[in-house]
Chain A
Amino acid sequence: MSLVNFTAREITCKIVYYGPGRSGKTTNLQYIYSRVPESRKGRMVSLATQTDRTLFFDFLPLELGTISGFSTRFQLYTVPGQVYYNATRKLVLQGADGVVFIADSQVRQLDENIESLQNLHANLLEQGIDVRTVPVVLQYNKQDLPRDLILTHTELDEALNFRAVPSYPADALSGRGVFETLKGISEQVLRRLSEEAPK
Protein backbone atom coordinates (compact mmCIF):
# COMPACT_ATOMS: atom_id res chain seq x y z
CA MET A 1 0.00 0.00 0.00
CA SER A 2 1.06 3.60 -0.55
CA LEU A 3 3.31 4.96 2.15
CA VAL A 4 2.28 8.39 3.44
CA ASN A 5 4.53 10.60 5.58
CA PHE A 6 2.29 13.27 7.08
CA THR A 7 5.20 15.01 8.81
CA ALA A 8 7.37 15.45 5.74
CA ARG A 9 4.26 15.42 3.50
CA GLU A 10 5.50 12.68 1.19
CA ILE A 11 3.72 9.86 -0.64
CA THR A 12 5.44 6.80 -2.11
CA CYS A 13 3.57 4.41 -4.41
CA LYS A 14 4.67 1.12 -5.97
CA ILE A 15 3.58 0.42 -9.55
CA VAL A 16 4.33 -2.91 -11.22
CA TYR A 17 4.54 -3.40 -14.99
CA TYR A 18 3.31 -6.94 -15.63
CA GLY A 19 2.85 -8.96 -18.83
CA PRO A 20 4.22 -11.78 -20.99
CA GLY A 21 7.88 -12.06 -22.01
CA ARG A 22 9.07 -9.56 -24.62
CA SER A 23 5.86 -7.53 -24.46
CA GLY A 24 7.76 -4.31 -23.73
CA LYS A 25 7.72 -3.82 -19.96
CA THR A 26 11.41 -2.94 -19.70
CA THR A 27 11.12 -0.79 -22.85
CA ASN A 28 8.42 1.28 -21.13
CA LEU A 29 10.74 1.95 -18.19
CA GLN A 30 13.71 2.65 -20.45
CA TYR A 31 11.67 5.21 -22.38
CA ILE A 32 10.51 6.90 -19.17
CA TYR A 33 14.10 6.89 -17.89
CA SER A 34 15.32 8.50 -21.12
CA ARG A 35 12.77 11.32 -20.95
CA VAL A 36 12.87 12.27 -17.29
CA PRO A 37 15.37 14.92 -16.08
CA GLU A 38 18.24 13.70 -13.85
CA SER A 39 16.93 15.60 -10.84
CA ARG A 40 13.60 13.75 -10.94
CA LYS A 41 14.82 10.16 -11.26
CA GLY A 42 17.13 7.71 -9.56
CA ARG A 43 19.38 5.12 -11.11
CA MET A 44 17.47 2.52 -13.13
CA VAL A 45 18.27 -0.85 -11.60
CA SER A 46 17.99 -3.85 -13.93
CA LEU A 47 18.56 -7.36 -12.70
CA ALA A 48 18.82 -9.05 -16.07
CA THR A 49 20.41 -12.10 -17.69
CA GLN A 50 23.43 -11.79 -19.97
CA THR A 51 21.04 -11.58 -22.91
CA ASP A 52 19.19 -8.66 -21.29
CA ARG A 53 16.07 -10.63 -20.38
CA THR A 54 14.69 -9.51 -17.04
CA LEU A 55 15.77 -12.01 -14.38
CA PHE A 56 14.28 -10.48 -11.25
CA PHE A 57 13.04 -6.95 -11.93
CA ASP A 58 13.79 -3.53 -13.33
CA PHE A 59 13.34 -0.66 -10.93
CA LEU A 60 13.01 3.05 -11.60
CA PRO A 61 12.29 5.58 -8.84
CA LEU A 62 10.63 8.81 -9.98
CA GLU A 63 9.95 12.11 -8.24
CA LEU A 64 6.55 13.00 -9.63
CA GLY A 65 6.28 16.43 -8.00
CA THR A 66 3.97 18.03 -5.47
CA ILE A 67 0.34 16.95 -5.49
CA SER A 68 -2.11 18.35 -2.94
CA GLY A 69 0.90 19.56 -0.96
CA PHE A 70 2.49 16.10 -0.85
CA SER A 71 5.81 15.40 -2.51
CA THR A 72 4.90 12.32 -4.54
CA ARG A 73 7.27 9.52 -5.51
CA PHE A 74 6.59 6.52 -7.70
CA GLN A 75 8.56 3.32 -7.67
CA LEU A 76 8.19 1.62 -11.06
CA TYR A 77 8.99 -2.10 -11.22
CA THR A 78 8.81 -4.64 -14.01
CA VAL A 79 8.45 -8.37 -13.47
CA PRO A 80 10.22 -11.04 -15.54
CA GLY A 81 7.70 -12.08 -18.18
CA GLN A 82 9.00 -15.56 -18.90
CA VAL A 83 6.79 -18.33 -17.49
CA TYR A 84 9.84 -19.87 -15.80
CA TYR A 85 10.20 -16.94 -13.38
CA ASN A 86 6.84 -17.06 -11.62
CA ALA A 87 8.39 -17.22 -8.13
CA THR A 88 10.19 -13.92 -8.63
CA ARG A 89 7.10 -12.37 -10.25
CA LYS A 90 5.18 -13.06 -7.06
CA LEU A 91 7.86 -11.40 -4.95
CA VAL A 92 7.90 -8.25 -7.07
CA LEU A 93 4.10 -8.04 -6.99
CA GLN A 94 4.06 -7.86 -3.17
CA GLY A 95 2.70 -4.54 -1.95
CA ALA A 96 1.89 -3.15 -5.40
CA ASP A 97 -0.39 -0.11 -5.36
CA GLY A 98 -1.18 -0.45 -9.04
CA VAL A 99 -0.48 -2.71 -12.01
CA VAL A 100 0.18 -1.82 -15.64
CA PHE A 101 -0.44 -4.88 -17.78
CA ILE A 102 1.61 -4.68 -20.98
CA ALA A 103 0.09 -6.86 -23.70
CA ASP A 104 1.83 -7.72 -26.95
CA SER A 105 -0.53 -6.73 -29.78
CA GLN A 106 0.70 -9.43 -32.17
CA VAL A 107 -2.00 -11.93 -33.17
CA ARG A 108 0.30 -14.86 -32.42
CA GLN A 109 0.90 -13.59 -28.87
CA LEU A 110 -2.76 -13.55 -27.81
CA ASP A 111 -2.55 -16.83 -25.88
CA GLU A 112 0.54 -15.59 -24.01
CA ASN A 113 -1.29 -12.39 -23.09
CA ILE A 114 -4.26 -14.32 -21.73
CA GLU A 115 -2.03 -16.72 -19.84
CA SER A 116 -0.07 -13.85 -18.29
CA LEU A 117 -3.26 -12.02 -17.29
CA GLN A 118 -4.56 -15.18 -15.64
CA ASN A 119 -1.19 -15.55 -13.93
CA LEU A 120 -1.51 -11.99 -12.58
CA HIS A 121 -4.93 -12.78 -11.14
CA ALA A 122 -3.65 -16.02 -9.60
CA ASN A 123 -0.59 -14.38 -8.06
CA LEU A 124 -2.66 -11.55 -6.58
CA LEU A 125 -5.17 -14.03 -5.23
CA GLU A 126 -2.35 -16.01 -3.63
CA GLN A 127 -1.53 -12.84 -1.69
CA GLY A 128 -5.18 -12.54 -0.69
CA ILE A 129 -5.88 -9.72 -3.14
CA ASP A 130 -8.88 -9.63 -5.44
CA VAL A 131 -7.77 -8.11 -8.76
CA ARG A 132 -10.97 -6.03 -8.78
CA THR A 133 -9.67 -4.08 -5.79
CA VAL A 134 -6.31 -3.15 -7.36
CA PRO A 135 -5.89 -0.26 -9.80
CA VAL A 136 -5.02 -1.81 -13.18
CA VAL A 137 -4.58 -0.35 -16.66
CA LEU A 138 -3.79 -2.18 -19.88
CA GLN A 139 -1.33 -1.15 -22.56
CA TYR A 140 -1.47 -2.72 -26.04
CA ASN A 141 2.12 -2.42 -27.16
CA LYS A 142 3.64 -2.87 -30.63
CA GLN A 143 0.75 -1.16 -32.40
CA ASP A 144 3.33 0.13 -34.91
CA LEU A 145 3.70 -3.35 -36.45
CA PRO A 146 1.99 -4.11 -39.80
CA ARG A 147 -1.80 -4.28 -39.52
CA ASP A 148 -2.04 -7.93 -40.60
CA LEU A 149 0.24 -9.01 -37.74
CA ILE A 150 -1.56 -7.30 -34.87
CA LEU A 151 -4.94 -7.08 -33.22
CA THR A 152 -6.62 -3.68 -33.01
CA HIS A 153 -7.30 -1.80 -29.80
CA THR A 154 -10.97 -2.90 -29.99
CA GLU A 155 -10.10 -6.56 -30.62
CA LEU A 156 -7.64 -6.57 -27.71
CA ASP A 157 -10.19 -4.92 -25.45
CA GLU A 158 -12.66 -7.69 -26.33
CA ALA A 159 -10.10 -10.42 -25.66
CA LEU A 160 -8.43 -9.06 -22.52
CA ASN A 161 -10.29 -6.16 -21.01
CA PHE A 162 -13.34 -7.80 -19.49
CA ARG A 163 -13.22 -5.40 -16.51
CA ALA A 164 -13.31 -2.39 -18.85
CA VAL A 165 -10.29 -0.75 -17.20
CA PRO A 166 -8.50 2.07 -19.05
CA SER A 167 -6.49 0.75 -22.00
CA TYR A 168 -3.93 2.46 -24.20
CA PRO A 169 -2.47 1.61 -27.63
CA ALA A 170 1.30 2.05 -27.63
CA ASP A 171 4.59 1.74 -29.40
CA ALA A 172 6.94 1.80 -26.43
CA LEU A 173 10.09 1.88 -28.57
CA SER A 174 9.13 5.29 -29.95
CA GLY A 175 7.38 6.27 -26.72
CA ARG A 176 3.86 6.53 -28.12
CA GLY A 177 1.38 5.67 -25.38
CA VAL A 178 3.98 5.34 -22.61
CA PHE A 179 3.18 8.70 -21.03
CA GLU A 180 -0.58 8.13 -21.34
CA THR A 181 -0.26 4.74 -19.65
CA LEU A 182 1.75 6.13 -16.74
CA LYS A 183 -0.75 8.98 -16.41
CA GLY A 184 -3.63 6.50 -16.41
CA ILE A 185 -2.24 4.32 -13.62
CA SER A 186 -1.09 7.37 -11.63
CA GLU A 187 -4.61 8.77 -11.62
CA GLN A 188 -6.08 5.49 -10.46
CA VAL A 189 -3.54 4.92 -7.71
CA LEU A 190 -3.74 8.48 -6.38
CA ARG A 191 -7.52 8.55 -6.59
CA ARG A 192 -7.58 5.90 -3.88
CA LEU A 193 -5.66 8.29 -1.64
CA SER A 194 -8.33 10.95 -2.17
CA GLU A 195 -11.12 8.60 -1.20
CA GLU A 196 -12.51 8.68 2.30
CA ALA A 197 -11.92 5.03 3.04
CA PRO A 198 -9.12 3.63 0.89
CA LYS A 199 -9.34 -0.13 0.52
Chain B
Amino acid sequence: MTGTRAVEQWTVAPLERFVTEAGARLTLLMTPAGQVLAQHGFARAVDVMSAAALGAAIVSSTGELARMLAERDFTALNHQGVKHGIFLSGFESPRGRLLALVVYGPDSSVGLVSLFFEELVRDLVATCPPPAPKKPVLAADFERELNESLASLFGR
Protein backbone atom coordinates (compact mmCIF):
# COMPACT_ATOMS: atom_id res chain seq x y z
CA MET B 1 0.00 0.00 0.00
CA THR B 2 1.25 3.50 -0.74
CA GLY B 3 0.53 6.77 1.05
CA THR B 4 -1.61 9.74 0.26
CA ARG B 5 -0.99 11.91 -2.82
CA ALA B 6 -2.97 15.01 -3.64
CA VAL B 7 -3.31 17.58 -6.40
CA GLU B 8 -5.02 19.84 -3.89
CA GLN B 9 -2.97 19.88 -0.68
CA TRP B 10 -5.88 20.95 1.55
CA THR B 11 -7.40 17.51 1.02
CA VAL B 12 -4.45 15.61 2.56
CA ALA B 13 -5.11 15.97 6.31
CA PRO B 14 -8.86 15.20 6.13
CA LEU B 15 -8.20 12.28 3.80
CA GLU B 16 -5.50 10.74 6.00
CA ARG B 17 -7.74 11.08 9.05
CA PHE B 18 -10.59 9.38 7.17
CA VAL B 19 -8.42 6.50 5.93
CA THR B 20 -7.16 5.78 9.46
CA GLU B 21 -10.52 6.02 11.18
CA ALA B 22 -12.63 4.24 8.56
CA GLY B 23 -10.03 1.55 7.89
CA ALA B 24 -10.16 2.28 4.15
CA ARG B 25 -7.68 0.50 1.90
CA LEU B 26 -7.99 2.77 -1.12
CA THR B 27 -9.61 6.16 -1.36
CA LEU B 28 -10.02 8.54 -4.28
CA LEU B 29 -11.32 12.09 -4.31
CA MET B 30 -12.23 13.26 -7.80
CA THR B 31 -14.28 15.62 -9.91
CA PRO B 32 -17.48 14.43 -11.64
CA ALA B 33 -15.41 14.27 -14.86
CA GLY B 34 -13.11 11.68 -13.26
CA GLN B 35 -10.13 13.96 -12.60
CA VAL B 36 -8.28 12.87 -9.46
CA LEU B 37 -7.84 15.46 -6.68
CA ALA B 38 -6.31 13.13 -4.10
CA GLN B 39 -5.75 9.44 -3.56
CA HIS B 40 -4.61 7.05 -0.91
CA GLY B 41 -3.32 3.54 -1.44
CA PHE B 42 -2.94 3.24 -5.20
CA ALA B 43 0.44 2.12 -6.52
CA ARG B 44 0.37 3.45 -10.09
CA ALA B 45 -0.91 6.80 -11.31
CA VAL B 46 -2.49 5.20 -14.36
CA ASP B 47 -4.45 2.72 -12.21
CA VAL B 48 -5.77 5.65 -10.22
CA MET B 49 -7.03 7.24 -13.43
CA SER B 50 -8.84 4.05 -14.51
CA ALA B 51 -10.50 3.71 -11.12
CA ALA B 52 -11.51 7.39 -11.19
CA ALA B 53 -12.96 7.09 -14.69
CA LEU B 54 -15.04 4.07 -13.68
CA GLY B 55 -16.14 5.58 -10.37
CA ALA B 56 -17.19 8.85 -11.99
CA ALA B 57 -19.09 6.91 -14.65
CA ILE B 58 -21.03 4.93 -12.04
CA VAL B 59 -21.98 8.08 -10.12
CA SER B 60 -22.92 9.87 -13.36
CA SER B 61 -25.10 7.05 -14.64
CA THR B 62 -26.92 6.51 -11.35
CA GLY B 63 -27.37 10.29 -11.05
CA GLU B 64 -28.95 10.29 -14.49
CA LEU B 65 -31.25 7.41 -13.48
CA ALA B 66 -32.24 9.41 -10.39
CA ARG B 67 -33.04 12.40 -12.58
CA MET B 68 -35.25 10.22 -14.82
CA LEU B 69 -37.09 9.00 -11.73
CA ALA B 70 -37.51 12.60 -10.54
CA GLU B 71 -35.52 11.51 -7.50
CA ARG B 72 -32.88 13.59 -5.74
CA ASP B 73 -29.38 12.23 -6.31
CA PHE B 74 -28.72 8.90 -4.63
CA THR B 75 -26.47 9.93 -1.79
CA ALA B 76 -24.23 6.88 -1.76
CA LEU B 77 -23.72 3.56 -3.47
CA ASN B 78 -22.23 0.50 -1.87
CA HIS B 79 -21.20 -2.81 -3.42
CA GLN B 80 -20.19 -5.59 -1.08
CA GLY B 81 -17.88 -8.35 -2.30
CA VAL B 82 -16.31 -11.28 -0.46
CA LYS B 83 -12.95 -9.60 0.16
CA HIS B 84 -13.69 -5.97 -0.60
CA GLY B 85 -16.49 -3.47 -0.56
CA ILE B 86 -16.69 -0.25 -2.53
CA PHE B 87 -18.44 2.89 -1.39
CA LEU B 88 -19.15 5.75 -3.79
CA SER B 89 -20.64 9.09 -2.92
CA GLY B 90 -20.79 12.69 -4.10
CA PHE B 91 -20.91 15.90 -2.09
CA GLU B 92 -21.00 19.64 -2.62
CA SER B 93 -17.92 21.71 -1.77
CA PRO B 94 -16.80 25.30 -2.33
CA ARG B 95 -14.98 23.88 -5.40
CA GLY B 96 -18.23 22.44 -6.77
CA ARG B 97 -19.39 18.86 -6.69
CA LEU B 98 -16.77 16.26 -5.77
CA LEU B 99 -16.90 12.47 -5.62
CA ALA B 100 -15.26 9.89 -3.40
CA LEU B 101 -14.52 6.25 -4.10
CA VAL B 102 -13.57 4.17 -1.07
CA VAL B 103 -12.42 0.55 -1.11
CA TYR B 104 -12.51 -1.27 2.21
CA GLY B 105 -11.73 -4.79 3.40
CA PRO B 106 -13.19 -7.19 5.97
CA ASP B 107 -11.51 -5.20 8.76
CA SER B 108 -13.95 -2.34 8.06
CA SER B 109 -17.61 -2.08 7.09
CA VAL B 110 -19.99 0.08 5.12
CA GLY B 111 -21.32 1.50 8.38
CA LEU B 112 -17.89 2.59 9.53
CA VAL B 113 -17.06 4.06 6.13
CA SER B 114 -20.40 5.93 5.96
CA LEU B 115 -19.93 7.28 9.47
CA PHE B 116 -16.47 8.69 8.87
CA PHE B 117 -17.34 9.77 5.34
CA GLU B 118 -19.74 12.34 6.79
CA GLU B 119 -16.87 13.64 8.90
CA LEU B 120 -14.58 13.69 5.86
CA VAL B 121 -17.08 15.82 3.94
CA ARG B 122 -17.40 18.24 6.87
CA ASP B 123 -13.59 18.51 7.15
CA LEU B 124 -13.12 19.02 3.42
CA VAL B 125 -15.80 21.68 3.19
CA ALA B 126 -14.30 23.48 6.21
CA THR B 127 -10.73 23.47 4.85
CA CYS B 128 -11.45 24.05 1.17
CA PRO B 129 -9.90 27.36 0.03
CA PRO B 130 -11.48 29.43 -2.76
CA PRO B 131 -10.30 28.49 -6.28
CA ALA B 132 -6.95 30.04 -7.24
CA PRO B 133 -6.98 32.46 -10.19
CA LYS B 134 -5.99 30.85 -13.48
CA LYS B 135 -2.48 31.49 -14.74
CA PRO B 136 -0.37 30.19 -17.61
CA VAL B 137 1.07 26.77 -16.84
CA LEU B 138 3.20 25.79 -19.81
CA ALA B 139 5.92 27.76 -21.58
CA ALA B 140 4.84 29.23 -24.90
CA ASP B 141 7.29 26.99 -26.77
CA PHE B 142 5.98 23.72 -25.32
CA GLU B 143 5.52 22.17 -28.79
CA ARG B 144 9.09 20.90 -29.14
CA GLU B 145 8.86 18.98 -25.85
CA LEU B 146 5.40 17.72 -26.76
CA ASN B 147 6.66 16.43 -30.10
CA GLU B 148 9.58 14.66 -28.44
CA SER B 149 7.31 13.12 -25.80
CA LEU B 150 4.82 11.86 -28.39
CA ALA B 151 7.59 10.55 -30.64
CA SER B 152 9.08 8.54 -27.77
CA LEU B 153 5.61 7.34 -26.77
CA PHE B 154 5.06 5.90 -30.26
CA GLY B 155 8.64 4.69 -30.62
CA ARG B 156 9.39 7.06 -33.51
Contacts of B64 in A (CB 8 A): 87, 91
Cα A198 to Cα B137 in complex, Å, equals 10
Contacts of A193 in B (CB 8 A): 136-138, 142
Tell me, yes or no, whether A35 is within 8 Å of chain B by CB. Answer: yes
Which residue from B33, B50, B138 sits with its C-beta under 8 Å from A94? Answer: B33
Contacts of B49 in A (CB 8 A): 12, 42, 59, 61, 73, 75
Which residue from B31, B136, B142, B143 sits with its C-beta under 8 Å from A95? Answer: B31
- Name which of A62-70, A131-139, A140-148 contacts chain B: A62-70
Minimal Cβ-Cβ distance residue in A for B58: A56
Q: On chain A, which size bracket covers the interface? A: 35 or more
Interface residues, chain A, CB within 8 Å of chain B?
Answer: 2-5, 7-8, 10-12, 14, 35-37, 40-43, 45, 47, 56-57, 59, 61-68, 70, 72-73, 75, 77, 87-88, 91-92, 94-96, 179, 182-183, 186-187, 190-191, 193-198
Give the size of the chain B interface in residues (CB under 8 angstroms).
43
Contacts of A14 in B (CB 8 A): 33-35
Minimal Cβ-Cβ distance residue in A for B30: A3
User: CB-defined interface of B117-152 with A at 8 Å, one 1/0 digit per residue?
Assistant: 000000000000000001111111011011111101
Q: Known contacts being A14-B35, A43-B47, A179-B154, is A88 close to B149, with CB within 8 Å?
A: no
Cα A5 to Cα B45 in complex, Å, equals 13
Q: Known contacts being A8-B7, A179-B154, A183-B150, is A190 close to B34, with CB within 8 Å?
A: no
Tell me, yes or no, whether B60 is within 8 Å of chain A by CB. Answer: yes
Minimal Cβ-Cβ distance residue in A for B134: A198
Contact assessment for A186 and B146 in the assembled complex, using a CB-CB cutoff below 8 Å: yes
Tell me, yes or no, whether B83 is within 8 Å of chain A by CB. Answer: no
Nearest Cβ on chain B to A124's Cβ, whole angstroms: 13
Minimal Cβ-Cβ distance residue in A for B156: A179
Contacts of B139 in A (CB 8 A): 68, 194
Tell me, yes or no, whether B20 is within 8 Å of chain A by CB. Answer: no
Q: A56-B61, A67-B146 are in contact. List 15 more A-B contacts (CB 8 A).
A: A11-B137, A14-B34, A41-B46, A42-B49, A59-B49, A59-B50, A61-B50, A64-B149, A65-B153, A66-B149, A88-B61, A91-B61, A179-B156, A193-B142, A194-B142
Which residue from A7, A37, A63, A183 sits with its C-beta under 8 Å from B45? Answer: A63
Contacts of A11 in B (CB 8 A): 137-138
Cα A43 to Cα B33 in complex, Å, equals 19
Tell me, yes or no, whether B23 is within 8 Å of chain A by CB. Answer: no
